[in-house]
Structure 1
């Protein structure tokens, strides 16, 4: 008799337990239960229109842009900030030297950028594609006039010196620097003068059926400015050399995910060797990515330079650091496979 009572009690307890589990399941729903064979939803992925890299929120997709003129005189090296730049343009200035326009996302935290140097009209033209703030120290007459005529939001150290400083350990004039803390102070006071950037390039995979395997290119801007890019199979990046020596900053060689050679019409304007470089219209280009070289054309459409293959389709860039070499049309580059 006692055994039967015990069995009844156990059955009743089992029924109660099953009822409670079923009740919880139907009241709170299946969505609150994580089953072993169910995958969790993937976190959303956002990409910056500036360089195609992942960002943490939608607010960072369309950044405000800062452009800084950076010196490449021998006394200016090693420079600061070039390794952190999202995009770098290099073009010849006077006397056979080259100069950089370093493009940054205004949200970046950069401790030191420079040495900062003077404006040229073709660099102003490139900066205007980003509707960005232009940081420089003086400029050629044409460059300064273009800033005025085009109403470019700029910080010229000659008039707004509080946004720059001099490094006493280097020789003037190759010792002027700025950083993100200073440009943010300028943005706080002039927030209405800068708009978010939205006209990004295309990023993604690219068919290699029309590409040539190229491991190295050399651009001889002048006898003292031989710029080379060599593809590193291990890093899957291009490493930069200047006069056959790695171009290093703080012991680290500069690298790029994409190297673009943009051929432009060029002519000398005066006895100082100032140049006119035509960055409007269209011209030939070479795109290096993933150890391959793609031939195509660049076209400036609606104030934005874009890159196309031989069929007229826009070329996809690889997300990451982008270097653009502006090269005179009559300058030959050396290519090694």
Structure 2
């Protein structure tokens, strides 16, 4: 759970009246859910290529943030830089029921985490067992963890989950998908996303208007196998973040349009979070949950009506 000092800090804040976390049931441990920064000062990023799922969304001022999900974390490879939780982090936790790893958050976000008894680990939790500081980076962009530390936190704090994720497979060939070897869209007013498909890698190389979004360990672009762009409205959360900027939350419930890019093709689909306590589903044109190839899946949350070009 949160560090003792954080619990004392929150004790005087009252309650939010939000829903409580569901009672854990027998099953497997929930995943590690890690908050990753994506400002220019945060790059190059490290350890995201090993994630199972990444959700990327607007944080503030046109800058995006990521929630990286690891179902079976392991290894000593660094994952960085770790930053603060946001309102949408809590929504994603309710879908996957893992353990949150983050550097801090606005007091209102921390209050909800405590009120809902969400397993959450920060730099001081359990005597500093889960994080360290990278001396080659400037604070606050230098907090890191690794797979072994995540596994330790999951083993000690994760609720048990029983949901079933779709088995990896190729999407349906009918209706025939459009070719999509290059994808371009503006996720925010200052963050243009560009993907280029590599048949040799069976993956999309991630770039921005400033160049490749590099993985620190490989020196190459991060390469998701599956890229999913979901259209979902966002709104002012009603408070400011730790930097004093208006906090952003998303209407991540119900259903909405989605575009799925995999194997050099584009599929029209629907995202479905009708049950906010289960993982988000992608439903194909046939009305069935869409299977996807094994590998890193990257979700981008964009405004409704965002133009997406592919060729």
Question: Shorter-chain-normalised TM-score: which range?
Answer: 0.7 to 0.9
1:127 to partner: Cα distance: 2.6
Aligned to 1:109: 75
Aligned to 2:310: 336
CA distance in 2, matches of 1:312, 1:261: 18
Instruction: Classify 1:279/1:242 alpha carbon distance in 2 versus 1 (closer, same or farther; 3 Å).
Output: same
* 8 A Cα contact 1:202 1:315, kept in partner: no
* 8 A Cα contact 1:224 1:243, kept in partner: no
Aligned to 1:268: 236
SS of 1:256's equivalent in the other structure is coil
What is the TM-score normalised by the length of structure 1? Answer: 0.75
* 8 A Cα contact 2:60 2:247, kept in partner: yes
Instruction: Classify 1:199/1:141 alpha carbon distance in 2 versus 1 (closer, same or farther; 3 Å).
Output: farther
CA distance in 2, matches of 1:65, 1:159: 18
1:187 to partner: Cα distance: 4.2
Once the two structures are overlaid, the 10-residue window that deviates more, 90-99 or 179-188, is: 179-188
What is the TM-score normalised by the length of structure 2? Answer: 0.81
Query: Deviation string for 1:228-277 (max 9, x for gaps)?
Result: 11211232211111225121113122111111111112123457232120
1:169 to partner: Cα distance: 1.7
* 8 A Cα contact 1:65 1:196, kept in partner: no
SS of 1:200's equivalent in the other structure is coil
**Aligned with residue 228 of structure 1, among 194, 213, 219:** 194
**Residue 208 (str. 1) matches residue 173 (str. 2):** yes
1:291 to partner: Cα distance: 1.1
**Aligned with residue 122 of structure 2, among 156, 160, 163:** 156
* 8 A Cα contact 1:87 1:322, kept in partner: yes
Alignment of 1:159-198 (within 5 A): 161-188=128-155, 190=156, 193-196=158-161, 198=163
Instruction: Classify 1:84/1:107 alpha carbon distance in 2 versus 1 (closer, same or farther; 3 Å).
Output: closer
Larger helix share, 1 or 2: 1
**Residue 320 (str. 1) matches residue 295 (str. 2):** yes
Aligned to 1:100: 66
Aligned to 1:81: 47
Instruction: Classify 1:107/1:282 alpha carbon distance in 2 versus 1 (closer, same or farther; 3 Å).
Output: same
1:284 to partner: Cα distance: 0.7
Once the two structures are overlaid, the 10-residue window that deviates more, 250-259 or 213-222, is: 213-222
1:283 to partner: Cα distance: 0.7
Aligned to 1:13: none
* 8 A Cα contact 1:137 1:158, kept in partner: no
Query: Deviation string for 1:267-305 (max 9, x for gaps)?
Result: 234572321201111111011111111111111143221
Instruction: Classify 1:203/1:182 alpha carbon distance in 2 versus 1 (closer, same or farther; 3 Å).
Output: closer
1:216 to partner: Cα distance: 1.8
Aligned to 2:164: 199
CA distance in 2, matches of 1:197, 1:70: 26
CA distance in 2, matches of 1:172, 1:67: 22
Mark the runs of 5 or more structure 1 residues left unpaired by the alignment: 1-60
Question: Relative contact order (C-alpha < 8 Å, sep 6+): which is higher?
Answer: 2
CA distance in 2, matches of 1:223, 1:128: 29
* 8 A Cα contact 1:89 1:102, kept in partner: yes
Between the two proteins, the alignment pairs up a number of residues equal to 274
CA distance in 1, matches of 2:29, 2:129: 24
